[in-house]
Structure 1
Amino acid sequence: MFSGSIPALVTPFRDGAIDEVAFRAFVDWQIAQGSAALVPCGTTGESATMTVEEHNRVVAICVDQAAGRVPVIAGCGSNDTKIALDHMYAAQGAGAAAALVVAPYYNKPNQDGVYRHFAYLAERCDLPIILYNVPSRTITDIGVPVMFRLAEEFQSIVGVKDATGNLGRVTAQRLACGTDFCQLSGNDETALGFMAMGGVGCISVTANIAPRQCADFQAACAAGDWKAALALQDRLYPLHDALFSDSSPGPVKYALSRVRPDMPADVRLPITWPSESSRAAVDRALEIAGLV
């Protein structure tokens, strides 16, 4: 259903408010540069510090500006199951193609709780769901047995954004959930291995800054041109690394401000402007990637 380079979009804020003009221009640029789909209101989009109204507005703007040129996978996660469902209803009403739903965070549910969270959503809304598994942030893992059960019981649960960093999970999940289960890497730095093991794309942070290069990387992987993919991996790896040299999305917004000066770089607390050393790492990485 989804494949290729899919940026987890930053949300531009100016003077504390969403900059709709800048966001619409950013969506257009991403599509023109070859991004295969768009994810508004994910972690990189600072969804954790948006009001419900802001969250739903950003999704609606993204869908409206994309205008059917590429699908929009709306971030809909919450550690409150009913809030996640409300986000899904709003995203579906706006015309999103799917919902990206993170494992419940902070609550630390057991595996039965994880299953029941996603089952509750799938039973009440038929918008396709991509599971988002990022234990480094949520503490909670969506275990392979739970993923199998969800994929087996609900046709609307169509794939996973896997940010575990464990490449073995790609094979385990494919064997459990089948070859049609859409596996998207959630980590740029390991996307090459992820693709070689059967992944079909990446929900990418780096694609905010280097959408054309990330699209070319995904195209090379899909074509089995591993030599070209490796060359792009080496060129982009310092940027993959530098974008997490301080709390995200601080370094991402700094990098984007250097590539696209029209994009405001404001972040919302508790995220702060990246440190001097982080900015220096980003500067070096942008030069290596040939972006400045």
Structure 2
Amino acid sequence: MSDAGFAATEVALRIRQGARDGVLSFPLTAFQADGALDLPAYRGYLSTRLEANPGAVFPACGTGEFFSLDEDEYRSVVRATVETAAGQVPVIAGIGYGWAQALRFARIAEDAGADAVLAMPHYLVNGPQSGLVEQVGRIAGGTDLPLIVYQRDHVAYTAESLRRIARFPTVIGLKDGHSDLDRLQRLTLAAPQGFLFFNGAPTAEIQARAYAAVGVPAYSSAVHAFAPEIANAFFAALNAADDARVEQLLREFYLPLVEIRDRGTGYAVALVKAAARMRGCPVGPVRAPLAEPRPEDLADLSEVLDHGLALVGARRQAG
């Protein structure tokens, strides 16, 4: 095995252990009112996420509005994450677009000290399976960083494609956003031993039990971005097989939350950021093309958030 392959194996082990101990956290990127990057606010916000003991942090990904960051901003966010995390947990930075641009971001992430990268779906076009595999191969061949691929929207791998992707020495896992459990089960069966899989559904807790049933217990939590107390309470109940507690949190918090989320385009990020501001986190607004949630949706979000916090014995004021 190459040096890069050995390093990838070590990072994969750290991520696997982290996912057993806590949820995967995707921090929001803080902006000022005029849309400029607010790095001091981001550092402070990230510190509070780290205090809530995530299994790993994924800066500048979908929740972190990767698509709206230029390369200098991206570099600043990833470096700030690495410095703030200070080795506590693995740092996996988002990369994306076509393979050439994804490699530019991967090299920035490597220089900034990230432990691995998450390759988000490429830009705009659909591609055949052979093209999807080559896209991953081009990225994996251009950086020594361990690579996790993300399938959602127009990217969906077959079992044979996953076998080919998994042969690249630095490809260590797959994040799934399709929630097609038949396809996902086939992928887990086709993957080599030790390959990582993550539940990356928009509100992953809703489907956490179903994913775990096909061998994918690890999941990302958007709720951890604004209410880590709730996210951690759910994680603990799930791992303790406390079905009554899991059902209560799903029925009384997560289901109402996703019903509000489904009312608006882009709410998977905009609503999360609004909820973080309600907790006193100075993360600022979303950047276009996202837009702020409607006032009536914010009012409903406020009620759901307060009820969820009450369920776990927390209060609005805590960030």
Question: Scaled by the length of structure 1, what TM-score is found?
Answer: 0.90
| Correspondence for 2:165 | 150
Q: Is the 8 A contact 1:192 1:230 kept in 2?
A: no
Distance change (3 Å), C-alpha of 1:25 and 1:244? farther
Residue correspondence of structure 1 range 99-118 to structure 2 within 5 A: 99-118=117-136
Whole-angstrom CA distance in 2 between matches of 1:270 and 1:200: 33
* Mapped contact 1:161–1:184 kept (Cα < 8 A): yes
- Counterpart for residue 165 of structure 1: 179
Shift of 1:180: 1.7
Q: Which amino acid aligns with 2:160?
A: P
Q: Distance in 1 between matches of 2:158 and 2:303?
A: 38
Contact 1:77-1:101 at 8 Å conserved across structures: yes
Taking the aligned partners of 1:241 and 1:180, their CA distance within structure 2 comes to 36
Amino acid paired to 1:96: A
Between the aligned partners of 2:236 and 2:213, the Cα distance in structure 1 is 13
Q: CA separation in 2, counterparts of 1:111 and 1:262? A: 42
Normalising by the residue count of structure 2, what TM-score does the alignment of the two structures yield?
0.83
The answer on whether the counterparts of 1:35 and 1:212 sit within 8 Å (CA) in structure 2 is: no
Matched residue SS, 1:62: helix
Q: Deviations over 1:65-98 (max 9, x none)?
A: 11111111100112x2111011111112212111
In structure 1, what is the Cα distance between the partners aligned to 2:236 and 2:171? 25
Alpha-carbon distance in structure 2 between the residues aligned to 1:179 and 1:222: 23
In the alignment, the residues of structure 1 paired with residue 277 and residue 74 of structure 2 have an alpha-carbon distance, to the nearest angstrom, of: 22
Counterpart check, 1:250 vs 2:270:
yes
C-alpha distance in 1, partners of 2:241/2:215? Answer: 11
Secondary structure in structure 2 of the residue aligned to 1:289: helix
Corresponding residue of 1:199:
216
Residue in 1 that maps onto 2:144: 126
Change (3 A) 1:161 1:276: same
- Alpha-carbon distance between aligned partners in 2 of 1:155 and 1:212, rounded to the nearest angstrom: 37
Alpha-carbon spacing, 1:219–1:196, altered in 2? closer, same or farther (3 Å): farther
From the superposition, tell whether residues 233 and 65 of structure 1 become closer, same or farther in structure 2 (CA, over 3 Å): same
- In structure 2, how many angstroms separate the alpha carbons of the residues matched to 1:219 and 1:198? 18
Please list the CA deviations of residues 34-92 of structure 1 after superposition, one character each: whole Å capped at 9, or x if unmatched. Answer: 211111111111111111111121111111111111111100112x2111011111112
Q: Is 1:41 the counterpart of 2:60 in the alignment?
A: yes
Q: Mark the structure with the bigger radius of gyration.
A: 2
Structure 1: 5+ residue runs without aligned partners?
none
* Among 5, 9, 18, the residue aligned to 2:37: 18
Q: 1:250–1:271: 8 Å Cα contact kept in structure 2?
A: yes
Equivalent residues in 2 for 1:1-292 (5 A)?
1=12, 2=15, 3=19, 4-14=22-32, 15-78=34-97, 80-135=98-153, 139-151=154-166, 153-187=167-201, 188=204, 189-237=206-254, 238-246=256-264, 247-248=266-267, 249-259=269-279, 261-290=280-309, 292=316
CA distance in 2, matches of 1:128, 1:223: 31
Aligned-residue Cα RMSD (Å) equals: 2.0
What amino acid is the match of 2:216? G
Q: Shift of residue 227 of structure 1?
A: 4.6
SS of 1:154's equivalent?
coil
Equivalent pairs: percent with the same residue? Answer: 28
